[in-house]
A and B are shown apart, each in its own frame.
Chain A
Amino acid sequence: MWISKVTIAQPINGVLRRFPAGTIYIVSALYACWEFWRALNQLGPYLVEPINVLERAYGEIALILMVAGLTVTPLRKWTGLNLLKFRRAIGVSAFFFVLAHFLVFAILDVQSLGRVWEEIVKRPYVTVGMASFVMLIPLAMTSNNLSLRKMGAASWRKLHKLTYPAAVLGALHYLWLAKGFQIEPLIYLIVVLALVGARYVSLERKQQPISG
């Protein structure tokens, strides 16, 4: 039996409509606190070495949220599922997890401002991660309606294309710190490249003049 994408997507969209976008912030903040609390009390995976595990937990959830943010548009296009109203909250939450990841790295792990700078300059995988973080700062700062109005939709949209290189660099950062051949960071990078790449492909198609 053939079911149109609208029949599946519509009831889900109906349910989603009842949740305000702010739900994402609440869940994100609760999750961040939960992980910190477990690290503090050295529970579960935090039993022996909580610093590195917390650093990785925040980094990975940031990457997951960036991927989630990038899937909103293709999901709507291909399945009719509409998560558009959550996208800003997903993106801003991703930024806060990157910030938390950086703070754990700087304060709990490296423990010295001078050495944080040294790491950023000397270690390419840190440089790349830092570049991703820096790109996300203006995006987080302009993720509000006032900025959108002030900047105008066109230039706001242009600025927010920084999401793409930020996500790619974030995934590269993860792959670069792995030792040996590891499948998980590779999957993240492939997914991010596919999601970003798909945009350029569809963009090119749109821009191509129609020829015989």
Chain B
Amino acid sequence: GAIGLAGGAAAQGNLEPNTLEEITSYNNYYEFGTGKNDPAQNAHRLVTSPWSIKVDGMVDNPGDYALDDLLAGLSVEDRLYRFRCVEAWSMVVPWNGIELADILDRVGVQSRAKYVAFETVVQPENMIGVQRRVLDFPYVEGLRLDEAMHPLTIMATGIYDEPLYNQSGAPIRLVVPWKYGFKSIKSIVRITLTDREPPTSWNKANAREYGFYSNVNPNVDHPRWSQATERRIGGGLFAPRQDTLMFNGYPEVAPLYAGQDLSVDI
């Protein structure tokens, strides 16, 4: 959409993207292990074809969609976004993706719906982290409907015009650039429209540390570390820290939270 391009373009101004190698060899994808290098080592076992997404809940056209059918005819855009992990490191990623709003319009969101819930695939035999029960799998995430419909919110299918690597959440993942990385759920197999705030994996694991919103916010620390600064990946052993920006440098989303106290609604 027009606003998305404007916002995206403004934010893209002076961003230097990380290399594909950096982006695909330092990942959090706990289904494939907790080490940063584990997903790159283990994710080749993920089976991504055929892939279908179950769309259910408060939609006009529920069903199991083959991935290609769900996306057919929708425009794939280039979005150069900052990516800020809750662990206080960050990257800049040149995504290719489709606005989530376009997909939601296609399936027909009913007026009662207030939230969108997402679910990651579970292939226990291929996923060492699932076998070890690192989290309560399947991984689940959610957005408020207005967040989901925001033009900055995309469903990414590629990076650097290459299909997503498995460790990056192939074949399709969410990207919400103003929220901590764990909100951007990977390898999505289910999208549910609902009128209730859906459970989210890290919130279930530790509600004190991970809220539903999880907007990037330098003024609200994670209980175990500061969120005021971050380290940009790729700077080597003497990489300086840089200040973290409110909403990760996407102030155009601020109106979504008008009237909310973001030190409470974390």
Chain A positions near chain B (C-beta within 8 angstroms) = 39-40, 42, 45-54, 108-111, 115, 118-119, 122-125, 176-183
Report, nearest first, the 10 A-B pairs whose CB atoms are least far apart: A48-B26, A180-B134, A50-B237, A48-B22, A180-B135, A39-B237, A40-B237, A111-B241, A181-B134, A49-B233
Select from chain A the residue with minimum beta-carbon distance to B23: A48
* Stretch from B162-170, B172-180, B189-197, B224-232 forming part of the interface with A: B224-232
Q: Which DSSP category, helix, strand, loop or mixed, fits chain B's interface? A: loop
On whether A181 and B237 interact (CB within 8 A), knowing A47-B25, A48-B22, A51-B231, the answer reads no
Starting from the known contacts A46-B237, A48-B26, 16 additional A-B residue pairs (CB-CB under 8 Å) come to A39-B237, A42-B237, A45-B37, A47-B25, A47-B26, A48-B36, A49-B26, A52-B89, A108-B238, A109-B231, A119-B226, A176-B224, A179-B205, A180-B134, A181-B133, A183-B132
**Contact B34 A49, beta carbon cutoff 8 Å:** no
Residues of B within 8 A of A122 (CB): 221
- Alpha-carbon distance A139/B189, docked complex (angstroms): 55
B240 contacts chain A at the CB level, 8 A cutoff: yes
Kindly provide the distance from the CB of B167 to the nearest chain A CB, expressed in whole angstroms: 12
Over the window 94-114 of chain B, the binary record of Cβ atoms lying under 8 Å from chain A Cβ atoms (1 yes, 0 no) is 000000000000000000000
Which bracket fits the contact residues of B? 20 to 34
Query: Chain B: residues with CB nearer than 8 A to chain A?
Result: 21-22, 25-26, 30, 34, 36-37, 87, 89, 132-135, 205, 221, 223-226, 231, 233-234, 236-241
Nearest residue in B to A177 (C-beta to C-beta)?
A: B224
Determine the residue in chain B with the shortest Cβ distance to A123.
B224
Do B233 and A48 touch across chains, with their CB atoms under 8 A apart?
yes
Counting chain A CB atoms within 10 Å of each CB, which of B135, B231, B236 scores highest? B236
B226 proximity list for chain A (CB < 8 A): 115, 118-119
- A125 and B134 CA atoms in complex are apart in Å by 20
- Say whether A51 contacts B239, CB under 8 Å: yes
CB of B237 within 8 A of CB of A182, answer: no
10 interchain pairs, CB-CB under 8 A: A48-B21, A49-B233, A52-B36, A108-B238, A109-B231, A123-B223, A179-B34, A179-B87, A179-B205, A183-B132
Q: With A180-B34, A182-B34 as given contacts, are A42 and B236 in contact (CB-CB < 8 Å)?
A: yes
Residues of B within 8 A of A176 (CB): 224
- Which residues of the partner chain A approach B30 to less than 8 Å between Cβ atoms? 180
Specify which chain A residues have a CB less than 8 angstroms from the CB of B87 in the assembled complex.
Answer: 179
The reply to whether B205 and A180 form a contact with Cβ atoms under 8 Å apart is yes
Chain A contacts for B37, CB-based, 8 A: 45
A50 touches B236 (CB 8 A): yes
On chain A, the residues within 8 Å of B132 by CB distance are 181, 183
Residues from chain A with Cβ under 8 Å of B89 in the complex: 49, 52
- Smallest Cβ distance from A56 to chain B, in angstroms? 10
B25 pairs with A111, CB closer than 8 A: no
The smallest C-beta distance from B90 to any residue of chain A, in angstroms, reads 11
Closest Cβ–Cβ distance, residue B139 to chain A (whole Å): 11
